[in-house]
Structure 1
Amino acid sequence: MVIRRFILTAVLLAAFVSGLCKPLHYALANVSGGLASDRRVALVIGNSRYGSVAPLVDPERDSRAVAATLTELGFSKVMLEADLPRDRFLSRLRTFAELADHADWAIVYFAGHGIEVNGDDFLLPVDARVLTDTDVESEAISLRQLTAATAKAANVRLVIIDASRSNPFFASTTREMGDHRNDEGLAPPGPTGDVAVVLSAKAGQLAREGGQFANSPFVASLVKSLRKPGLDLDASFHRTRNEVIVSTGGLQEPALYGTLPKLAANTAGRTGGISLSDDAAWESLGATVDRTSLTRFTEQFPRSPWSAAAHVRLAELQRALVISDAIRDDKSATDTIDDTPVTISCGTPGVELTFCEREVAIWARNTGNKVKVIPAPAPMDDRLNLYLKSLESQETNLDIMQIDVTWSGILADNLVDLYAYSSGTENESLPTALDAAVVSDRLVAMPWFVDSGLLFYRKDLLAKYGLKPPQTWEELAESAAAIQKGERARGKRKFQGFLFNGLAAEGLTCFALEMINAYGGQVKNDENGVLSIDAAATEQALKTMSGWIGNISPKRVVRLSEEAARQEFQNGNVAFMRNWPYVLHLTEENSSNLRGKVGVTPLPRGGVLGNRTGVLGGWQLAVSKYSRQRKKAASLVLFLTGIEVQKERAIEGGYAPALGALYRDPDVLKSNAIFPDMYTAVTNSIVRPSRLLGPKYDDFSTILREEVKDALSGKTSPEAAAEAINTRLYALRAPQQK
């Protein structure tokens, strides 16, 4: 099929160039006539695929974003490196030190694993194996080595360390150098001379992850600040620091050690007029389907590895097949072909955006219409705020929005009723997914793909201890305790029985609702809009969750996001974990230590009479009621949410489809072992009360996660927390339905 051919070819090309097939070690070479008149050099390293611990999601994506930004700003040499073993790490440092010796600016950025031992910070090559503290000197790279590499630059000497993560070797190493050793974050750097050091999170803190598709909060803010015209480096750092504090709710605070000069990275106040390298030029093209631009690239850079990708894209545009149902619901499609593009916001930069751009390009070719794709902001709050601002201002320049399942109630009054265009095709969606898209009997969005909380477990350890996947939360507690006791007795002192996302964020709201529903509880509202949750079920759920803390779950679980829990699980030191479907794909990568060892099942019941359920997650596509191109926009939405596109996404990208028929499709089921369990989980999932509450949903979520966190932290009893939840909900009345 067209999409599959296109995506497979693009993925193979990207794999070759980015280092999935072999290590990446190229430089973005010699930008001439750039923004800067002085000589600037940078070394950018992203270590993701570690040999002895779980791979990381963010470093490869974040390092590319930093390298692209520095290239765009006129750096004469940007060395972008990925997945460096120790010998090549040292070699690249030596090469860079020689460049820095003759440079005005020298910047090193490192993303990956870092550890602190005896007050010193070390960065881990991908081949590091740290069995004792004394191994660090021979296995890792010290922060001092990075600062030394920049020390001879004339004006700017800066090292940026984005490695404030949990120590992946903490549980398995033996102390031989004293007791000063942290399992979380880094230490304040020692004296660094004239070199400034930036840590993405201050000493002892963990940096927040960007997740499956987005850049981390730190890098997302950093690259934006560096691009700000006329903003000097010191001001750029403080802008980044403040934005990260706000975006993470105070959980992450970047720190500066040393002094940054009052020199701006973007001195020209623009990014045009740069004579780009082939890498930067390809980056600037994005996912364009403009033939002229692609042809010009192949002529300008005939020997570039990206030229092959450009030729593939040109050929695919030429071969694109007509998909007849792309405009099946747009009765006046022949009258709407004009130069006014349909605008769609879909996907954050990365895999998700690439899929959307490919699919949109096919619809555009088949209908003769133009489409402008607007990448969505990575932070969820930023994306929602973008949509709210556009809709409240009644702007006409955003036609289609990709919205979270909890936003349909918030945005409903400003969205088109798609019943006028869908011709009943919405009924092919899973009932729970469709339920989340209907507000006050109006189809305000079309379901696109879905999510639900699942239980992941170590198949090998269950077999080792003669256990079966737990059917109830009580069985899970017993099995987790047995495995934890056995593994610790075998020397894994930090082994944990069960991890979950205990951080006070939307993920904890989801898990709390799953636990309450497992014991038979649900959110209710009476005829006056007064909200409540079953007190007995809430109390029992909180007693169960609190009972895990300090027994099968560590006390620090209240600080763990889904991604942080995933990393620890994939390091091999956890028996069970609650998380989202994307985890299985990562555990099955070739570099994963757990490949073939992880099982997945719907979440357990609360007692033998409880429910097996999960909270519905996922995304929908909606059309702004202020769009001047409703028919074209609706046609594109129906194409993107149709069975052909959803099947391609399921097979090639692992996206759980919103269409029930695809869970009976042999090709789909064969492509991903998680889909049968996903179907069970989603069909039994519960929908968060966002449609009922509309704009008040955020208040509901805040109340629930704050009280649950207090119970988990031991600040209040489960009984007191359950009572406080209902007391606070009583004051939060649901808006009267129209």
Structure 2
Amino acid sequence: MSFATLGSAISARFAIMRGLLGRAFAAVPAGLAVLLFSLPAQAVPERRVALVIGNSAYTAVPRLANPQRDATAISAALKRLGFEVVEGYDLRMDEMTGIVREFAQKLDGAKAGVVYYAGHGIAVGDENYLIPVDASLKSEADLDFRAVNVQLILRQMQRDERVNVLILDACRDNPFTTQLAARSRSVSRGLTAIETQSASGILIAFATDPRATALDGEKDGNSPFTSALLKHIETPEVSITTVMDRVRADVWESTGKKQKPWTNSSIIGEFKLNPTLKLAAVDPSVTIKAIDGAVPAPAAPAPVGLDRAQMDVRMWETAERGNTAGDYKAYLDAFPTGQFAAFAKNRLARLEPAAPVVAALPAAVGAAALSSAAVAALPASRETGQAVADAAMKGEVASAETEAALKLSAKDRRELQRRLSLAGFKPGKTSPNFGPSQRNAIKQWQTTRALAATGFLAPMQLKALRAQTEPAYQRALAEDARPAPAPRATRAVAREPAEPQVRNRGV
């Protein structure tokens, strides 16, 4: 049966379907209905795990300015993309091996693994090593005991079939190379090329060509490589290979053609760091049978063979294909608190300019005097949220009084601490009240939005923080709702010594 025939059959049954679905679907346009029930039953996001390490505070050689800052920014971006992130900063040798082991354990069952490392690295022969902050390398033999072989990490990533990405910003001008070169002819500048061998494919990226040296970047900034990566890593619906192509072009230009990032990929097909939810193809004959069985005689209606969550997914996918304001309004009418409501509002905000909202902020009243109803009416999107911050928050100085007026409950404060954490800030242990750690996290967030860093919140700022973190927050809630996996039977084995705790110094 052709897809056109399928569409005709579904259209013929749609009137009956709308009756069964009730008032929630009364606003669904007929064009959306053609695809709505032809899509498969499940679209569950797959687990993706990342390891992020940033080493700056070396003890035997001069400190590096940017790796810790680079790694912190990449970690925040990966969290926004839905990754479970294992992260560590300024790690000693025992801490680095410990965090690699923790990452390896979390990889179990994951469909994708990403490793990002910023710091010193060294190549000896065909082997690459990542150097912990406490390393003192007097001979080539020290590398086996005082540095982490990249092959150790690759073996953990390739134990199961998954897509893997290894990104090393570790090709900086390295004093360790000078120290060892006098004692070993096999020591070279930069890193050595790595061959890609993996069932599902792997992409390996260096900040610059093998055997070359990368720039660390300006003080209090990011390295040229990581700056470009941060620019492109969250671009929706772009494959990792395209992301790295864009990073290479940006770095080449920004460094005056002195640094060219290198990649080697064996990934089959496309792997996207920021995919929209895509659903698999469907057998038309099976779909027609399912619809026939789900549409009973009017006198004895029976439930449609799709639960509300599945209908939510299908209607969002259909609205996204249409990509019009009417489509997204139809989705929100049917699912005002659906899984993709925040995304639908974001799209509406882009399709329907938010200028009237900004213009409606009266100078006579002032931003701080906005009512809670006016704040709630603002569109929840990152783009318009930033525009509101620029236009309206400029005159809104948050204080203890503006925060008290918000009447935040203990539940609200816990929610905001989680949102700050998802955005890459560090509010400390979750508390029903805001203490020094939480105030400091709010200050850091305010600084990134060019706001007065008071550590308190005001109405417009609360709206912007929630809008900025909504996609990651919804993913976190969905992860919380997932049932815990059933325990697996294990054999008794000899107990191994406990791994030392990983210290996140300087974070």
The structure showing larger relative contact order (alpha-carbon pairs under 8 Å, at least 6 residues apart) is: 2
